[in-house]
Amino acid sequence: MPAAIPLKRPVKVGQLVRRRLKELKRTPRELAEALQVTERFIAELVSGRRLPPAPTRADVYAPMTKFLRLHRNDLPTCARAEREGEGPSRRRPSPRVRELLLELCDPARARVLVRRLTQKRVGGGAVGGGGPPLDALVAQRLLEVAQGFVRRQLDDEVGIRVASGREGCTYLELRMKLLEFLDATPSSLTATDVEDFFRPRIGTWDLDFETQTMRIVLRTQEPAPRQKRALAI
């Protein structure tokens, strides 16, 4: 079957995927195998229970476009239209996540940050009056760094297979864990995300409250066992 006719207007990603699978007489399982994801991922995407990945997620949309014989920008365009109503998250990370992120900061500096972040929260909690809360801003920037590492890791199939053996899981399980993390937002981050993806890569960070500029120092070696500190914001 030839490539699909270019879309005249965006539709939901799940609707487009379902239609093309039917036109090509292919199954969700075959699509899952082509993308190296679980059948559950495809089922949730097709049914609309899963918000489509960001339009920049070439790791998902490039092989999906090839398998479904779509035009290059069809899926990203549909994903952008479907997600644009969401807008940037203004919700803060959970208290436990904020605590763990502060543990990545110098202890003395962290105490100053706690006071300043608390003051900002009481006074409205936004950057520039209309932006996200400062703690959400910190989490977002640290998240972008951690997700950058994960994107590069996804390109290393051999490395993932070695790591899956070391962690006692299958290749597909570890790959899905990485893919799911790329969909994380500051408000959806968990303590496990911080331990698995932030701590091994981020050595320390600092925030300039006047300019909202962050300084992030990456690790050059494995982190030492975590020491608990009583800091929370």
- Provide block-wise average pLDDT over 10 residues at a time, the chain (233 residues): 72 96 97 97 95 93 96 94 70 88 87 76 50 80 96 95 96 97 93 96 89 89 52 40
Same domain membership, residue 138 and residue 69: no
**Spatial separation of the C-alpha atoms in residues 192 and 177, rounded to whole Å:** 11
- The domain of 187 spans 95-218
Same domain membership, residue 79 and residue 36: yes
Please measure the distance between the N-terminal and C-terminal CA atoms of the chain and give it in whole angstroms. 57
Q: How many domains does the chain have?
A: 2
Same domain membership, residue 113 and residue 79: no
Same domain membership, residue 25 and residue 129: no
Same domain membership, residue 112 and residue 52: no
What pLDDT does 229 receive? 45
Same domain membership, residue 174 and residue 126: yes
What pLDDT does 177 receive? 97
Task: Answer yes or no: is 228 within a domain.
Answer: no
Task: Answer yes or no: is 170 within a domain.
Answer: yes
What pLDDT does 35 receive? 96
What pLDDT does 134 receive? 75
Residue 8's contacts (CB-CB under 8 Å, 6 or more residues apart) are none
**Spatial separation of the C-alpha atoms in residues 67 and 21, rounded to whole Å:** 9
Task: Answer yes or no: is 25 within a domain.
Answer: yes
Same domain membership, residue 101 and residue 78: no
Identify the CATH number of the domain in which residue 25 sits. Answer: 1.10.260.40
Looking at 53, 83, 113, the residue that finishes a domain is 83
Q: Is the dihedral of CA 55, 61, 66, 68 positive or negative?
A: negative
Q: What are phi and psi of 193, to 5 degrees?
A: -60, -45
Same domain membership, residue 177 and residue 78: no
Looking at 63, 83, 103, the residue that finishes a domain is 83
What pLDDT does 135 receive? 83
**Spatial separation of the C-alpha atoms in residues 140 and 145, rounded to whole Å:** 9
What pLDDT does 106 receive? 83
What pLDDT does 122 receive? 54
Same domain membership, residue 113 and residue 177: yes
Same domain membership, residue 161 and residue 213: yes
Task: Answer yes or no: is 125 within a domain.
Answer: yes
Looking at 58, 83, 108, the residue that finishes a domain is 83
Same domain membership, residue 116 and residue 41: no
Same domain membership, residue 123 and residue 154: yes
